[in-house]
């Protein structure tokens, strides 16, 4: 149904305005509360009227960069009746000493286009404690809907004209604050660094309702302030400053009772990895979401030769529900014909089990970290190399263990590149569930009811077909599935090890001459272990010559074995070695039929 205004003549009562005249305004207000993903994937398909309203909101939520060269054109479009953008970045403006043209543009912008802004990025940072540029103060006061404020100064050494903030000046509407000083903060011992620390601590006091803080480089005193009881921060994303020397021991008298979400952006050679570990140990019983981001990836041989940043995880995360890893596409050092791995080590301790260390874990996420590190010696990974990097990291650290982690309900992974071919998906009964087109999903009616839980997690088409093929009383409780993510099938609760089966389910059949090793660069990856209760009937093993075979390893339930060596470039030169390796592999499977 198109929700568009009708003529007043069509109303039953010409004296009373029909609801259809008010509906566009009501619809506009309702959509302002919906997330962008829902507007894009759902609301735009309802009707033409809904689509137009949704696209107007989506357009206004785009981050737009305004500079002295294009601000006049933007002001002209907004004054002509077009939508105001809510997310703006004011760049290349000298807020301290503006020219007459810049001053006129800022005054016009503040008076006509500042009210709808919800997110504001400024190339500015205060130079003195309790002071700001006059235009910045006026701008913040006029942004009545401002929620997110980000300071990223480009000019800091110039003498700016700043005035003291009025006594009692506060901006209670701002809940998210970001500060990036990575280009200027050099040393905590110099005069310049001390001035920045004092300014940061004073700046935070102007935003009493902060719940989230983001920063690329933070000095020690500021970090300890956000971790203490003095701050109401619930979520913090930070990168510690340790360019000159490692940070000393963490010193917080009373920890915060609000902090539940933490993100660490760990550089390749961090001198303060003990500081990250100390923060995790301090809040291990409170954290609900943890994200670890690796700035760069490195080759395996470089990983072995250098001391990469290592974070020690606490013995127990009693409330952790989401564990996310951010993997960068940027690599450091040489980058040709190497297997890459994220430049970050995780230390779990000895004799740990996932079920005990993460008793409430529900979600594992792997995401792409957007970075801009052109000044370093390196380059960018291809899609295949980045996929191999995060897959090996995930397998090395999170697809191991001897006990089942029954609380995990969702694994959100980036989709593999199309060049890698199909992905073999296994379930607890050993049936190969290869993803098909949604049109072919209706052929799942012959599957046993016990496979319903697995089939519904393959794709949306499979899920719809499963719900129509199985009786209603056999349908399990619905689970949250992230659209457009590569969600792996979760085995039933009778399986021995949920992580081991997920490990098997992400082994792809590669269509590239390189060997894909799901391994930590510190040790070669052994064959995946299958428990006695697992009925695995097929195993796809890629490039057997590249994996080590542990002693006393057997797979009594495997009946079908596939060894693919078609893409090895030197297969004729390693004939004797290849034959010996194949014989060694076959001995591991006593019940082979094919």
- Which of 177-181, 249-253, 511-515, 550-554 is least confident? 511-515
Residue 57 and residue 43 in contact, taking contact as beta carbons nearer than 8 Å: no
Question: pLDDT tens digit string along 55-72?
Answer: 888 877 888 889 899 888
- Which of 243-252, 462-471, 481-490, 579-588 is least confident? 481-490
What's the rounded mean pLDDT across residues 564-571?
Answer: 44
Given pLDDT bands bounded at 50, 70 and 90, which one contains residue 148?
A: very high
Percent of the chain beyond pLDDT 90? 7
Question: How far is the CA of 42 from the CAs of 30, 54, 60, 460, in angstroms?
Answer: 14, 10, 18, 15
Provide the pLDDT for residue 245: 53
- More reliable by pLDDT, 234 or 23: 234
- Strand pairing category for 297-299 and 289-294: unpaired
- Which of 361-365, 452-456, 547-551, 554-558 is least confident? 452-456
What is this structure's pTM?
Answer: 0.63
Report how far residue 203's alpha carbon sits from residue 227's, in angstroms, rounded to the nearest whole number.
17
For 117, the enclosing helix (H) or strand (E) is: none
pLDDT at 453 over 50: no
Domain boundaries, given as residue ranges, for the chain:
260-423+490-513, 433-485, 537-594
- More reliable by pLDDT, 586 or 461: 586
Longest dimension (CA), the chain: 95
Question: How far is the CA of 78 from the CAs of 60, 81, 85, 177, in angstroms?
Answer: 11, 5, 9, 27
Report how far residue 20's alpha carbon sits from residue 5's, in angstroms, rounded to the nearest whole number.
5
Can you state the percent helix, strand and coil of the chain, rounding each to 5? 30, 15, 55
What's the rounded mean pLDDT across residues 358-379?
Answer: 75
Burial (Cβ within 10 Å: 0-12, 13-18, ≥19) of residue 62: exposed
Question: pLDDT tens digit string along 169-182?
Answer: 788 899 999 988 76
Provide the pLDDT for residue 541: 34
- Which of 268-272, 356-360, 490-494 is least confident? 490-494
Report how far residue 23's alpha carbon sits from residue 6's, in angstroms, rounded to the nearest whole number.
10
Provide the pLDDT for residue 156: 56
Question: pLDDT tens digit string along 92-102?
Answer: 888 878 888 98
Given pLDDT bands bounded at 50, 70 and 90, which one contains residue 472?
A: very low
Given pLDDT bands bounded at 50, 70 and 90, which one contains residue 400?
A: low
Structure tokens at 537: 């009937």
pLDDT at 1 over 70: no
Name residues whose C-beta falls within 8 Å of residue 496's C-beta, 6 or more positions apart in sequence.
404, 530, 531, 532, 533, 534
Provide the pLDDT for residue 564: 57
DSSP string, 210-232: --EEEESSB-HHHHHHHHBTT--
HEC-encoded secondary structure of 15-57? CCCCHHHHHHHHHHHHHCCCCHHHHHHCHHHCCHHHHHHHHHH
- More reliable by pLDDT, 567 or 240: 240
Given pLDDT bands bounded at 50, 70 and 90, which one contains residue 573?
A: very low
What's the rounded mean pLDDT across residues 539-560?
Answer: 54
pLDDT at 439 over 70: no
Question: pLDDT tens digit string along 293-346?
Answer: 887 777 776 776 667 788 888 888 999 999 998 888 877 766 555 777 888 888
DSSP E strands, 91-186: 119-122, 131-132, 148-151, 163-164, 176-179
pLDDT at 401 over 80: no
- More reliable by pLDDT, 273 or 243: 273
DSSP E strands, 35-144: 63-66, 87-90, 119-122, 131-132
Question: pLDDT tens digit string along 26-53?
Answer: 777 778 788 888 888 888 888 787 888 8
- Strand pairing category for 148-151 and 119-122: parallel
Report how far residue 539's alpha carbon sits from residue 504's, in angstroms, rounded to the nearest whole number.
8
- More reliable by pLDDT, 490 or 311: 311
Provide the pLDDT for residue 241: 66
pLDDT at 290 over 90: yes
What's the rounded mean pLDDT across residues 390-417?
Answer: 73
Residue 226 and residue 256 in contact, taking contact as beta carbons nearer than 8 Å: yes
Question: How far is the CA of 544 from the CAs of 29, 248, 517, in angstroms?
Answer: 59, 47, 10
Report how far residue 181's alpha carbon sits from residue 49's, in angstroms, rounded to the nearest whole number.
45
Given pLDDT bands bounded at 50, 70 and 90, which one contains residue 121?
A: very high
For 340, the enclosing helix (H) or strand (E) is: strand 340-342
The mean predicted confidence, pLDDT, of the chain is 67
Name residues whose C-beta falls within 8 Å of residue 579's C-beta, 6 or more positions apart in sequence.
none
Report how far residue 370's alpha carbon sits from residue 51's, in angstroms, rounded to the nearest whole number.
30
Report how far residue 578's alpha carbon sits from residue 188's, in angstroms, rounded to the nearest whole number.
58
Residue 4 CA, chain-centre distance (Å), reads 39
Question: pLDDT tens digit string along 186-221?
Answer: 444 444 566 777 788 888 888 888 899 988 777 777
Report how far residue 459's alpha carbon sits from residue 481's, in angstroms, rounded to the nearest whole number.
9
């Amino acid at each position: 149904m198109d929700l568009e205004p009708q003529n007043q003549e069509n109303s039953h009562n010409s004296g009373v305005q029909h609801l259809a005249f008010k509906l566009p305004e009501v619809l506009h207000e309702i959509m302002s509360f919906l997330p962008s993903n829902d507007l894009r994937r759902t609301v735009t398909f309802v009707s033409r009227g809904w689509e137009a309203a949704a696209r107007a909101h989506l357009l206004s939520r785009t981050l737009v960069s305004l500079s002295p060269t294009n601000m006049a054109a933007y002001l002209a479009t907004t004054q002509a009746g077009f939508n105001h953008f809510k997310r703006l970045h004011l760049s290349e403006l000298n807020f301290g000493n503006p020219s007459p043209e810049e001053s006129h543009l800022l005054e016009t912008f503040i008076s006509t286009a500042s009210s709808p802004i919800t997110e504001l990025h400024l190339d500015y940072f205060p130079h003195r404690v309790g002071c700001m540029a006059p235009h910045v103060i006026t701008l913040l006061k006029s942004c009545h809907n401002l929620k997110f404020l980000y300071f990223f100064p480009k000019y800091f050494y110039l003498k700016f004209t700043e005035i003291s903030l009025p006594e009692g000046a506060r901006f209670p509407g701002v809940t998210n604050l970001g500060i990036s000083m990575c280009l200027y903060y050099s040393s905590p011992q110099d005069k310049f660094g001390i001035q920045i620390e004092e300014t940061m601590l004073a700046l935070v006091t102007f935003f009493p309702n902060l719940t989230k803080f983001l920063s690329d480089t933070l000095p020690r005193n500021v970090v300890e302030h956000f971790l203490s009881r003095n701050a109401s921060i619930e979520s913090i994303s930070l990168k510690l400053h340790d360019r000159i020397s490692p940070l000393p021991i963490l010193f917080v008298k009373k920890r915060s009772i609000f902090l539940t979400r933490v993100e660490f952006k760990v550089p390749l050679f961090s001198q303060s990895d003990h500081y990250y570990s100390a923060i995790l140990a301090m809040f291990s019983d409170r954290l609900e979401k943890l994200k670890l981001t690796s700035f760069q990836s490195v080759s395996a041989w470089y990983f072995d030769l250098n001391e990469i940043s290592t974070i020690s995880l606490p013995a127990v995360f009693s409330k952790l529900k989401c564990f996310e890893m951010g993997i960068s596409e940027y690599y450091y050092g040489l980058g040709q014909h190497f297997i890459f791995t994220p430049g970050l080590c995780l230390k779990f301790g000895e004799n740990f089990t996932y079920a005990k260390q993460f008793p409430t874990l529900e979600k594992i996420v792997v995401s792409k970290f957007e970075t801009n590190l052109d000044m370093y010696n390196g380059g960018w990974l291809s899609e295949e190399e980045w996929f191999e990097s995060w897959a090996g990291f995930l397998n090395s650290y999170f697809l191991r263990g001897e006990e089942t982690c029954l609380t995990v309900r969702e694994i959100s992974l980036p989709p593999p590149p199309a060049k890698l071919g199909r992905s073999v998906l296994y379930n607890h009964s050993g049936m190969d569930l290869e993803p098909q087109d949604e049109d072919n999903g209706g052929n799942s009616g012959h599957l046993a009811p016990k496979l319903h839980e697995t089939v519904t997690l393959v794709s949306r088409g499979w899920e719809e077909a499963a719900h129509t093929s199985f009786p209603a009383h056999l349908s399990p409780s619905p689970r949250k599935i992230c659209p457009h993510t590569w969600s792996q099938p979760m085995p039933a609760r009778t399986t021995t090890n949920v992580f081991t089966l997920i490990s098997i389910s992400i082994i792809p059949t590669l269509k590239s001459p390189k060997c894909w090793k799901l391994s930590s660069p510190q040790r070669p990856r052994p064959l995946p272990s299958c428990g006695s209760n697992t009925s695995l009937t097929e195993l796809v093993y890629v490039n057997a010559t590249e994996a080590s075979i542990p002693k006393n390893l057997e797979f009594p339930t495997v009946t079908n074995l596939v060894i693919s060596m078609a893409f090895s470039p030197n297969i004729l030169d390693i004939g004797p070695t290849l034959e010996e390796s194949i014989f060694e592999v076959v001995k591991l499977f006593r019940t082979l039929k094919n």
